[in-house]
DNA sequence: CTGTTAGCGCATTCAA
DNA sequence: TTGAATGCGCTAACAG
């Protein structure tokens, strides 16, 4: 009933052979008699034998485990990314340990320590909003545990990263709006605390310039991404004498909150005001009045690419090669609805 | 540069003391001199020492790791559940390994083997659609690794489970619709292959009976949950001579697809036909014409409760107590929009 | 072709 | 108060 998981020792004892013979038989070592090999494999099967990874670690110095640290699994963006990470790990015979930072630096540090304790072979990270130092990650790399940042990539040199550039799509969004005759384009930006690139804003400004539109600070408002904050931001935009006829929102959720608020104010979505946002969540396709366009950031693909890069680094490390710092950039796409 | 993670041996050598002294010092063992203890702790800190969990396993027979196997991380329901699991694990000093079955039995089995290889202390499972046997999970329990099923719970005796009952809310949904005068209530059900309880249907039938409404088979259609299949199901309902005035959908996504199709057919949502669905996804709140009501299934809480139960089982196991089979039932709530 | 043995990092028992 | 020695499961070097 209360059995313990079988070991090669157990198998060896039952067959009256040595543990090394068992070990070799299980690994299809060339120098093992066919009869012995089959015997061993048969018994292993019967006993439901599975090697103990924690023991293998001692010899191979590998756990075949990677860690994934990200802010929050409930956000569709991150759950898609981790799905890509899991699929890629599965294909590479790896398995992923997960930890949510909930955008708290302290918790992020604790998780990294736990990952270290479990001797992950590498780490995938999307940093928390409050992460203003990456020492805790660099400490891992010191010990030869590669770290690949994805999506929320710290603004630091000498790192491996995978992210999705929003610049061109942001410019494209303005081009699209300008081509429809919009001259007053509002922008609801996200919290500025994030230690990451602000390509949305760069694209916004460049887009305006290209279309010979004036950059008006009063058209740029900020939301902390909560519904309340977004609505307050909208209120600001709507109270302008010269209201915007188009609004670019930090992401789809912000757009949804903004649109709901606008609707309450008797504003006709896509008529009085047109919206463009980031993320391209599937749900927007079900809206009667969806945003005019949305910037697709390919979270699943980011996860896949980040995992692939990590496995490459792990492999090189095993082969005692040094890998140059690699920064993979995917390009977002402006999807017109 | 290419350092290895420090061990207690390393610390011992540097301080010219024995490994056992180091081990005891780090664990605040009573019989260690304060001076030695502080010395050890200081150096450990400096070296960034973190114990090796894989080594600890040999002594404690525990990895402080649990496995989570579920169909798909991209579904909001599961990503919420796993978020609850991760939060609970974090609080209990555990960490979770994840695996997606993608509703394939074979992949589920492979993942379970990998989890076993990694010697997880316990397993949380939401079974795949094609899982028609739970032998691979029972094999774990044989080796004293507890398994807790959640949400998609197999219809089997002698298991631990956490799930959310939909029965009362399903009856409640009919009551609500009947009270508004609806007499023809359609039901778009999910695929019947799932090896789990069908409380939606039971509630549907009981609700009709309670409200003295006739159960009409032609009002029950099936979707495999894809958009196409849902629309085909809707087509059937809409082609009836005696069309339904209300429709209960398997979940919010099915409802969204159904509503979109109805809209294309010039049917006025919430006027010609009213919808009720399951899941209560946040996105439904942003619709101009949301479903009239939705059944909340508390995925995050299910994750939390499942993890809590699992940790209790692990604890009892460590204390060499036997735990009775426990089946936790949460109750869904009918949220009226 | 197969067996013996050392050693990975740690907790722990026994000895001093 | 501290040290030495053992064993957990496995692989691989070495020995037959």
The whole-number pLDDT of residue A193 equals: 67
Among all chains, which residue has been given the structure tokens 């001259």?
A183
Determine contact: B270 vs chain A, CB below 8 A: no
- Burial (CB < 10 A; 0-12, 13-18, 19+), residue B316, is middle
The whole-number pLDDT of residue A43 equals: 93
Give the architecture (CATH level 2) of A64-164+299-330.
3-Layer(aba) Sandwich (3.40)
Structure tokens given for A196: 């990451």
Q: Which residue from A50, A113, A259 is facing B50, i.e. has the nearest CB?
A: A113
Question: Nearest residue (Cα to C1') for D3?
Answer: B18
Distance in angstroms (rounded) separating the CA atoms of residues B182 and B244: 8
Q: Which residue from B86, B115, B117 is facing A99, i.e. has the nearest CB?
A: B86
Considering all CA atoms of chain A, what is the largest pairwise distance in Å, rounded to the nearest integer?
Answer: 91
- Burial (CB < 10 A; 0-12, 13-18, 19+), residue B182, is buried
Determine contact: A116 vs chain B, CB below 8 A: yes
Chain B neighbors of A286, CB-CB under 8 A: 256-257, 259-260, 283, 287
The whole-number pLDDT of residue A315 equals: 93
Determine contact: B143 vs chain A, CB below 8 A: yes
- Residue B18 Cβ under 7 A from any strand D atom: yes
Distance in angstroms (rounded) separating the CA atoms of residues A68 and A152: 13
Structure tokens given for B236: 């059937």
Q: Do A288 and B286 touch (CB under 8 A)?
A: no
Determine contact: B86 vs chain A, CB below 8 A: yes
Q: What positions of strand C are covered by protein, i.e. any atom < 7 Å from a CB?
A: 1-5, 7-13
A residues 171-230 near B, CB within 8 Å? none
Report helix, strand or coil for B63.
coil
The whole-number pLDDT of residue A113 equals: 96
- The answer to whether B96 touches B89, Cβ cutoff 8 Å, is yes
B165 CA from C13 C1′ (Å): 52
Q: Which residue from A4, A50, A86 is facing B73, i.e. has the nearest CB?
A: A86
Nearest to B153 by CA among B114, B192, B194, B190: B194
Mean pLDDT split into 10-residue runs, chain B, 337 residues:
80 93 93 90 93 93 96 95 98 98 97 97 96 94 95 94 97 98 97 78 97 97 95 97 97 94 94 95 86 96 98 91 93 95
The whole-number pLDDT of residue B1 equals: 40
- The answer to whether B71 touches B128, Cβ cutoff 8 Å, is yes
Query: For chain B, what are the domain ranges?
Result: 8-51, 64-164+299-330, 167-296
Q: How far apart are the first and last CA of chain B?
A: 60
Nucleotide nearest to B10 (CA to C1'): C9
Give the architecture (CATH level 2) of A167-296.
3-Layer(aba) Sandwich (3.40)
Q: Do A118 and B288 touch (CB under 8 A)?
A: no
Q: Do A3 and B144 touch (CB under 8 A)?
A: yes
For the segment 52-111 of chain A, residues whose CB is within 7 A of strand D: 52, 55-56, 58-60
Nucleotide nearest to B31 (CA to C1'): D1
Instruction: Give phi and psi for B116, each to the nearest 5.
Output: -65, -45
Below-50 pLDDT ranges, chain A? 1
Determine contact: A283 vs chain B, CB below 8 A: yes
Pairing of strands B220-222, B246-249: unpaired
Determine contact: A4 vs chain B, CB below 8 A: yes
Domains B64-164+299-330 and B167-296 share a fold: yes
């Amino acid at each position: 009933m209360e059995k313990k998981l079988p070991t090669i020792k157990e198998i060896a004892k039952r067959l009256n052979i040595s543990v090394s013979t068992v070990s070799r038989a299980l690994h299809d070592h060339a120098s093992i008699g066919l009869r012995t090999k089959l015997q061993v494999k048969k018994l292993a099967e019967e006993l439901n034998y599975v090697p103990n990874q924690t023991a293998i670690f001692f010899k191979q110095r590998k756990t075949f485990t990677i860690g994934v640290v990200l802010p929050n699994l409930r956000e569709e963006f991150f759950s898609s990314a981790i799905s890509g990470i899991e699929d890629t790990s599965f294909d590479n015979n790896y398995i992923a340990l997960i930890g949510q930072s909930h955008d708290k630096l302290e918790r992020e540090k604790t998780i990294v320590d736990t990952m270290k304790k479990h001797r992950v072979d590498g780490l995938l990270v999307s940093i928390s909003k409050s992460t203003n130092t990456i020492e805790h990650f660099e400490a891992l790399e010191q010990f030869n545990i590669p770290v690949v940042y994805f999506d929320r990539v710290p603004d630091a040199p000498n790192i491996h990263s995978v992210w999705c550039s929003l610049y061109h799509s942001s410019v494209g969004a303005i081009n699209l709006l300008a081509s429809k005759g919009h001259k007053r384009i509002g922008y609801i930006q996200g919290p500025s605390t994030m230690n990451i690139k602000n390509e949305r804003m760069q694209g916004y400004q460049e887009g305006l310039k290209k279309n010979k539109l004036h950059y008006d600070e009063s058209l740029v408002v900020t939301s902390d991404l909560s519904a309340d904050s977004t609505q307050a931001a909208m209120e600001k935009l709507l109270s302008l004498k010269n209201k915007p006829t188009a609004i670019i929102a930090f992401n789809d959720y912000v757009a949804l909150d903004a649109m709901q608020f606008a609707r309450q104010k008797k504003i006709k979505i896509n008529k009085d005001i047109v919206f463009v946002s980031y993320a391209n969540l599937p749900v927007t396709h079900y809206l009667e009045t969806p945003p005019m366009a949305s910037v697709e950031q390919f979270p699943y693909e980011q996860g896949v690419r980040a995992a692939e890069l990590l496995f490459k680094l792990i492999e090189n490390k095993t082969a005692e090669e040094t890998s140059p710092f690699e920064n993979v950039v995917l390009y977002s796409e402006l999807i017109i609805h």
